[in-house]
Chains A and B, each alone.
Chain A
Amino acid sequence: MTRRLMEGSEAIARAMVAAGCRFFAGYPMTPFTEVLEHMARLMPEVGGTCMNAESELEAIGMVWGAAATGTRAATGSVGQGLSLMQESLAELSHARLPVVVLNMARGQGDYFQATRGGGHGDYRHIVLAPADVTEAVGLAQLAFHLADRWRTPVMFMGDYFLAHVQEAVDPAPVHFGEPAAKDWALDGSSSGSGRAKLVSSISATKVDDPDSVDHGTHLAMIVDHVAAMAAGVEPLVESGFVADAELVVVAYGTAARYVRYAVGRLRDEGYPVGFVRPITLWPFPTGAVAEAGGAAGGVAVFELNNGQMIDDVRLALEGRVPVRPIGGVAFDESGFGISPLLDVGGISGRILEALDAPTRASV
């Protein structure tokens, strides 16, 4: 396949098909709707299933069932729909089931929801946040690989811009090595064997199983698994101009695409600014942020909310460097979370203001 100009929503859908996704379920809500439309067309072409679920509750339930059979499965929504899915996302994490969840956000107000484990109990899941369509094609496929590798839900964060920007991309399959064996998957064949399988968030073992664990032990194992993911999942990050920067701007997703461009222009004008763009929002690229921010002495966070990712930036820097919010909440009239703050001139001004703010040495 060669590169073709297409909208992000189609590119994401084609990338999921390339990754082997064969079950998709969704309930319309812009800008997730656009991906659902493409999946409804593409799934039958490859022998897969696309379900028009009666609500987001059932969409994630259907994906839960499909994933339990070992099928690569995905759903998604917008923040509100994802709020409805949180109970299931928590349980899927506790049942160690690999699913991919598209979070086609309206703006960036749902960072906490995505990265904190918005449901009950102790869990986290991997969160990937592309800044453009080309990267989205890769990360949508990586999401399925990581979900299988770690037996966990993986969230893919996009937004209205990502769904609608057109770029020339080639959503061909990316190979991440041998796919993980799914000996836990259900197909009915172990029924009647005396060792019939159980896929459960409560405990994954049946009575009389020599490895039987109770619910408390099961949850402790989930905690260990989260720690293993935190240590073992490679944090992805893009940095630019940080070596001699006096101010590092941290941003993710579409906002970072603007910041990247604004920082490049400011560099052309001679300002000592750089940027760090977390691509994995969980695990957060703590090391890269701490290194770049610590060296610069000043950090600004541009995000389209009232200050959410800034908590992770501050945790990374452990109070060593002042961290200033330079984003904010503003919406146009569309209702799709498009922020008037996404303006290179305006962002450049906010960055320069932060550059001139008192630094560590002077506070």
Chain B
Amino acid sequence: MSGLPAIPSDRPPDRPARMTDDFVPSLILRGEHDLCPGCGEPIAIRSAVEMLDELGLTARSIAVVGIGCYTAFSSTLDVEVLQALHGRAPSLATGVKRARPDTVVVTVQGDGDMVNEGLQEILHAAARSESFTAVLLNNGVFGETGGHMTAATVIGQRTKNTLDGRDPAAHGYPIVVADLLSCLEGATYVARGAVNSAGNVARTRRMLHRALEVQAAGGGFSFVEILTMCPTGWFVDTTEAPDYLGDTLATTYRIGVLKDTAAGHG
């Protein structure tokens, strides 16, 4: 347990929480990002674009990005980006991919974007077996608004509008969207990873690799949920966030491959 306090919101940090400019990942224009220290989203996004690169798909890749903290990457990815409205990335991706079937299309949405605002979109896209890869960055909270309950907030999780923790009697139960999608005939590949440990990052990268392979082979709808840390929105120390993820989100959202019916699997 570190002595680091939770991210102070009343003053700038005393010292940089990370080194900047010491490393620039491929397909990202800058080594620094504007998200909070301890955020899991940059790791998840870096993993996704690096898998595009590894598979040699870069020069036909288009990212369709939703609205959340990760939207900051719309202007720093060295991948073509179509900026979507909150909740609407799957329909835009459908239009892109149907109009240009030779492209590789990846959507990026948070849990507020996908599971709250646009649940209908992702369900129908999966049911139609649209040939794009949907990435869900799930931290169980509206991070960008400052820590409010989403449909994916887990039972007991404290947010600014569930101050005593999410209570099923008052707020209902979380929607476990990947499990829902895995029941749909049109979904070919459904997996859930996390970025709270080196092992889980490596596992998540394999999932993204597989999902993109499925798409590139014309295999239909592929889906990778990635559990990401949000110490700011969880009101915990940055150093505690990975364990918090493991103890809370990961017990509701099981890490693993839920479905793989592409050729040679399932």
Type the 1/0 row for A196-209, where 1 means its CB is closer than 8 Å to any CB of B. Answer: 11111111011110
In the complex, which residues of chain B have a beta carbon less than 8 angstroms from the beta carbon of A95? Answer: 83
Q: Give the residue among B58, B95, B98, B104 with the most A Cβ atoms within 10 A.
A: B95
In the complex, which residues of chain A have a beta carbon less than 8 angstroms from the beta carbon of B240? Answer: none
Q: Are A192's CB and B98's CB within 8 A?
A: no
In the complex, which residues of chain B have a beta carbon less than 8 angstroms from the beta carbon of A91? Answer: 85
Tell me, yes or no, whether A77 is within 8 Å of chain B by CB. no
Q: Are A51's CB and B78's CB within 8 A?
A: no
Q: How far is the CB of A144 from chain B (nearest CB, A)?
A: 15
Tell me, yes or no, whether B137 is within 8 Å of chain A by CB. no
* Given A69-B100, A189-B59, A189-B60, A62 and B92 contact (CB-CB distance below 8 Å): yes
Please report which residues of chain B, range 218-261, place their CB below 8 angstroms from some CB of chain A when the two chains form the complex. none
Q: Give the dominant DSSP class at A's interface.
A: loop
- Set B77, B90, B98: member contacting A23, Cβ < 8 A: B98
Type the 1/0 row for A44-74, where 1 means its CB is closer than 8 Å to any CB of B. Answer: 0000010101110111111111111101010
In the complex, which residues of chain B have a beta carbon less than 8 angstroms from the beta carbon of A200? Answer: 74, 81-83
Q: How far is the CB of B243 from chain A (nearest CB, A)?
A: 33
Q: Give the residue among B52, B62, B79, B124 with the most A Cβ atoms within 10 A.
A: B62
- Set B60, B62, B74, B88: member contacting A61, Cβ < 8 A: B88
Q: Are A69's CB and B78's CB within 8 A?
A: no
Q: How far is the CB of A304 from chain B (nearest CB, A)?
A: 33
Q: Are B78's CB and A62's CB within 8 A?
A: no
* Given A191-B58, A200-B74, A62 and B79 contact (CB-CB distance below 8 Å): no
Number of interface residues of B (CB under 8 A): 42
- Set A62, A193, A206: member contacting B94, Cβ < 8 A: A62
Q: Are B60's CB and A188's CB within 8 A?
A: yes
Q: How far is the CB of A91 from chain B (nearest CB, A)?
A: 6
* Given A55-B120, A65-B93, A198-B83, A192 and B78 contact (CB-CB distance below 8 Å): yes
- Set A191, A199, A201, A208: member contacting B60, Cβ < 8 A: A191
Tell me, yes or no, whether B144 is within 8 Å of chain A by CB. no
In the complex, which residues of chain A have a beta carbon less than 8 angstroms from the beta carbon of B103? Answer: 69, 186-188
- Set B29, B58, B78, B92: member contacting A65, Cβ < 8 A: B92
Q: Are A198's CB and B74's CB within 8 A?
A: yes
Q: Are A194's CB and B29's CB within 8 A?
A: yes
Which residues in B have some Cβ–Cβ distance to A below 8 Å? 27, 29-30, 52-53, 58-62, 64, 71, 74-85, 88, 90-100, 102-104, 120-121, 124
Q: Are A186's CB and B80's CB within 8 A?
A: yes
- Set A57, A73, A191: member contacting B91, Cβ < 8 A: A57
Q: Are B75's CB and A51's CB within 8 A?
A: no
Q: How far is the CB of B82 from chain A (nearest CB, A)?
A: 5
Q: Which residue of B lies closest to A198 (CB)?
A: B81
Can you pick out 7 interface pairs between chain A and chain B where the beta carbons lie within 8 Å of each other?
A: A54-B120, A61-B91, A64-B91, A64-B95, A192-B53, A196-B80, A206-B77
In the complex, which residues of chain A have a beta carbon less than 8 angstroms from the beta carbon of B82? Answer: 65, 68, 186, 199-200
Distance of A79 Cα from B83 Cα, bound (Å): 26
Distance of A8 Cα from B102 Cα, bound (Å): 35
Tell me, yes or no, whether A190 is within 8 Å of chain B by CB. yes
* Given A88-B85, A191-B59, A197 and B80 contact (CB-CB distance below 8 Å): yes
Q: How far is the CB of B27 from chain A (nearest CB, A)?
A: 6
Tell me, yes or no, whether A87 is within 8 Å of chain B by CB. yes
Q: How far is the CB of B119 from chain A (nearest CB, A)?
A: 11
Q: Are B99's CB and A23's CB within 8 A?
A: yes
Distance of A61 Cα from B107 Cα, bound (Å): 13
Q: Give the residue among B92, B94, B97, B99 with the most A Cβ atoms within 10 A.
A: B99
Q: Which residue of B lies closest to A91 (CB)?
A: B85
Tell me, yes or no, whether A151 is within 8 Å of chain B by CB. no
In the complex, which residues of chain B have a beta carbon less than 8 angstroms from the beta carbon of A197? Answer: 80-81
Tell me, yes or no, whether A22 is within 8 Å of chain B by CB. yes
Q: Are A187's CB and B100's CB within 8 A?
A: yes
Q: Are B59's CB and A66's CB within 8 A?
A: no
Distance of A55 Cα from B94 Cα, bound (Å): 14
In the complex, which residues of chain A have a beta carbon less than 8 angstroms from the beta carbon of B79? Answer: 191-192, 196
Tell me, yes or no, whether A25 is within 8 Å of chain B by CB. yes
Q: Which residue of B lies closest to A94 (CB)?
A: B83
Q: Are B83's CB and A62's CB within 8 A?
A: no
Q: How far is the CB of A232 from chain B (nearest CB, A)?
A: 27
Q: Are B80's CB and A188's CB within 8 A?
A: yes
Q: How far is the CB of A43 from chain B (nearest CB, A)?
A: 11
Q: How far is the CB of A116 from chain B (nearest CB, A)?
A: 20
Given contacts A58-B94, A64-B91, A187-B80, 18 further A-B contacts (CB under 8 A): A58-B90, A61-B92, A62-B98, A68-B82, A69-B99, A69-B100, A73-B95, A73-B99, A87-B85, A187-B100, A187-B102, A191-B58, A192-B58, A194-B29, A197-B80, A197-B81, A206-B77, A206-B81
